[in-house]
Amino acid sequence: MALFDPKIQNQLRDILKTMKDEVRIIFFTQEIECPMCRETGLFVDEIASLSDKLSVKKYNFVLDKEIAEKYGVDKIPAIVLLDKNEKDYGVKFYGLPGGYDINSFLGAIIEISGKREELPEDILSRIKKIDKDIHIQVFVGLGCPHCPGAVAVAHRLAMENDRIKGDMIDAANFVHLSQKYSVTGVPKIIFNDKSEFTGAQPLTAFLDIIENLQ
């Protein structure tokens, strides 16, 4: 059975029509010991079937270890989005971006396709000035309406500065990781394992934290 009913398929088709250039979906999976991998695989296939501008490349997390390392993928299911030149911006989704997070997934696809709303000049210059490696992990719940906003901010930062990488992580799917970071509320955002906050915050709040990271 298809994951998307015909009505949602049509809506998705219309949304994906607004893409500018091609986007490549890289998907890391494994057949055993990954309960969500199969469904996430179906998800990327179905999405990709709805636009000529989308293509999927699948890798086995164990057999294609070197490729996983190249993209910095350390758990599965994992989705990495690349632009038309196969440039990796550090935009990742760990787990199936369903529920409300279908919106952050589509948003990232459209932005990577080259269609981005311009950021104010002062904000953009703050982002460009960041000259240290920043890893932002956004723990989400798929029933959380405020989560896609946090994911979108992390990913947008990653797109604007090569030193920044942003992950969406489905907290319910990565239980051990959630425990490690004491995630008991979402969205929870972790910066380089050093700073964190819980709840939806504007882009400037992300920047304030990043600029203060040692």
Partner 1 sequence: MEFNLSAVSFVSEKNFTPIETGKVYDVLIIGGGPAGLTAAVYCMRKGVDTAIIIKSIGGQVAETSSVENYLGYKYINGVELVDKFKEQVIQFSIGYEEGQGVSLIEDGAVKNIILEDGRTVQSRTLIIASGKSWKKLGIPGEKKLTGHGVAYCTTCDAPLFKEKKVVIVGGGNSGVEAAIDLAGIASGVTIIQLLDELTADQILLDKLGSFGNVEMIFNSRVTEIKGDDRVEEVTVENIGTGTVSDVKTDGIFIEIGLDPNSGFAKGVVETNSSGEIIVDSRCATNRPGIFAAGDVTSVPFKQIIIAGGEGAKAALSACEYILKKS
Q: Which residues of the chain form contacts with partner 1 (CB under 8 A)? A: 3-4, 8, 11-12, 14-15, 17-18, 39, 43, 96, 98-100, 102-103, 106-107, 110, 141-147, 149, 171-172, 175, 178, 182-186, 188, 197-199, 202, 204
Closer to partner 1 by CB, 68 or 209: give it: 209
Question: How far are the Cα atoms of 44, 58, 123 from residue 24, in angstroms, in the given order?
Answer: 11, 11, 28
- Closest distance to partner 1 from the beta carbon of 213 (Å): 20
Closer to partner 1 by CB, 137 or 178: give it: 178
Contact 56, 48 (CB under 8 A): yes
Contact 112, 152 (CB under 8 A): no
- Closest distance to partner 1 from the beta carbon of 187 (Å): 8
Strand-pair category, 54-60 with 88-94 = unpaired
Q: For the stretch 153-175, what's the b/e string if a residue is b when 16 or more beta carbons lie within 10 angstroms of its beta carbon? A: bbbbbbbbbeebbbbbbbbbbbe
Closer to partner 1 by CB, 68 or 108: give it: 108
Closer to partner 1 by CB, 85 or 182: give it: 182
How far, in Å, CA of 12 to CA of 185, rounded?
29
Closer to partner 1 by CB, 6 or 66: give it: 6
Opening angle at CA 158, ends 28 and 72, nearest 5: 35
